[in-house]
Structure 1
Amino acid sequence: MVAVSKRSVMTLYSGATCPYSHRIRLVLAEKGITADIHHVPVDQVPEELAELNPYGSLPTLVDRDLALYDTRIIVEYLDERFPHPPLMPVDPVSRAKARLALHRIEQDWYTLLADLESGTRAAADRARKQLRESLIASDELFTVADFFLSEELSVMDCALVPLLWRLPRHGIDLGDDSPALVAYVERMFAREGFQLSLSDAERTMRG
């Protein structure tokens, strides 16, 4: 955390195609939180961002005297500061399960997305195959409820949906092998909050 000057409106430094930034934009949109969103080229970190965040990483959220630059910390901060609608369960056991599911999403799927974005051709091919097979194998999880393992929109959906939006960009087609997941995708992409969360660059990922 870094002390910064007073600001009247929350500011988000975001990558226009960054899935982690997209997660924050989705939380903002679903909660109806007003924020100034500045899309920052990853190779041109502005001086003001470098002063706020020693890593110069995206996303970075600035709220009054507070600067936050870890995706999970930002999401939990927003959920606690703006508690309605809640994105984390109320009871400790359910919260722990949600955090564990987030860990699995990040470790099992987001790491493969990183290989698709910036890995060698061989690494990208392996990641593409592994990610597709892993998602298809998880199809049954999407039959449990309208949202991912939950009756309400949660932090798990906000992490998962930006990743799913990027599948065609990386040549991943789920086809007819995961009907429950495909139905989930259609429901989530149709949400007003999700549509509002998209940058112009992200919209082009699906034409």
Structure 2
Amino acid sequence: MRNVLTLFSSVDDVLCHRARLVLAAKGVNYDMVPVDAQNPPEDLIDLNPYHSVPTLVERDLVLYAASVVSEYLDERYPHPPLMPVDPLSRARLRLAMLRIEHDWVPQVQAIQMGNKAQAESGRKRLKELVTAAVPLFKASKFFLNTEMSLADCAVAPIVWRLQALDIPLPKDGGKAIEDYGNRIFRSPGFVRSLTPQERQLRALPE
């Protein structure tokens, strides 16, 4: 039987990984269509005016942008919930996700796809951002929350890639980031979210 959901996704991209991690955390079955960003398939061109990934298709519904896809999935499949119930905590996490998307993700993309100067600049800036976030990793079991949330689905794919991106963990507080990552990386949902290409980026914790 064909799955109801189809996800157009790159095989190694933090925004696509974010959407796949939400799907895995929810235990939702879906069909993944691997996409080469430089040569998007005709189906994606027809569905999404930006030709961007991730793009989620559910029957006649087409959604794009990782933030939109993630929030839709959390509401469409409410168990387990990936956002707290109170408005203040939800707003705080949404703001954190916005910061990750606007500040962290472009640095990852610069390192992966930019020229040498852009990659070096992205590496320097990402290291600064990760170091500045150490208190947030220390403050709670998960990112700004006691339970795993959509914010972790945005942060964990970047933490997973730090080693491959040649971003050393800060000397002061690096263990807090490492411990945070291992808590998530050990979960069956995180393992399910990885493509074969992403599995090669680092070893899973034992």
TM-score strictly above 0.5: yes
- The gaps in structure 2 that reach 5 residues or longer are none
Residue 111 of structure 1 deviates from its aligned partner by 1.7
Structure 1 residues 8, 118: CA separation in 2 closer, same or farther (over 3 Å shift)?
closer
In structure 1, C-alpha distance between the alignment counterparts of 2:140 and 2:7, rounded to whole Å = 31
Match of 2:110 in 1: 115
Match of 2:159 in 1: 164
Match of 2:13 in 1: 18
In structure 1, C-alpha distance between the alignment counterparts of 2:38 and 2:128, rounded to whole Å = 33
Structure 1 residues 32, 127: CA separation in 2 closer, same or farther (over 3 Å shift)?
same
Match of 1:3 in 2: none
Residue 189 (structure 1) aligned with residue 185 (structure 2) = yes
In structure 2, C-alpha distance between the alignment counterparts of 1:155 and 1:196, rounded to whole Å = 16
Residue 145 of structure 1 deviates from its aligned partner by 1.5
Residue 20 of structure 1 deviates from its aligned partner by 0.8
Match of 1:104 in 2: 99
- The gaps in structure 1 that reach 5 residues or longer are 1-6
After TM superposition, where is structure 1 displaced by more than 3 Å over at least 4 residues in a row?
none
In structure 1, C-alpha distance between the alignment counterparts of 2:65 and 2:137, rounded to whole Å = 28
- Residues 118-141 of structure 1 show CA distances to partners (whole Å, capped at 9, x for unaligned) of 222122112212211321232121
Of 56, 65, 68, the residue aligned with 1:70 is: 65
- Residues 1-54 of structure 1 show CA distances to partners (whole Å, capped at 9, x for unaligned) of xxxxxx851111110011111111100000001111111122221111111111
Residue 58 (structure 1) aligned with residue 36 (structure 2) = no
Q: SS of the residue aligned with 2:50?
A: coil
Of 148, 157, 169, the residue aligned with 1:174 is: 169
In structure 1, C-alpha distance between the alignment counterparts of 2:146 and 2:182, rounded to whole Å = 17
**Aligned-residue CA RMSD (Å):** 1.5
Match of 1:147 in 2: 142
Identity within the alignment, %: 48
In structure 1, C-alpha distance between the alignment counterparts of 2:3 and 2:105, rounded to whole Å = 34
Match of 1:46 in 2: 41
Residue 92 (structure 1) aligned with residue 87 (structure 2) = yes
8 Å CA contact 1:139, 1:179 repeated in 2: no
Q: SS of the residue aligned with 1:16?
A: coil
TM-score (norm 2): 0.92
AA matched with 1:190:
R
8 Å CA contact 1:13, 1:40 repeated in 2: yes
8 Å CA contact 2:63, 2:69 repeated in 1: yes
In structure 2, C-alpha distance between the alignment counterparts of 1:153 and 1:36, rounded to whole Å = 24
AA matched with 1:184:
Y
In structure 1, C-alpha distance between the alignment counterparts of 2:146 and 2:154, rounded to whole Å = 16
How many residues are aligned here? 201
Match of 1:200 in 2: 196
TM-score (norm 1): 0.91
In structure 1, C-alpha distance between the alignment counterparts of 2:59 and 2:137, rounded to whole Å = 39
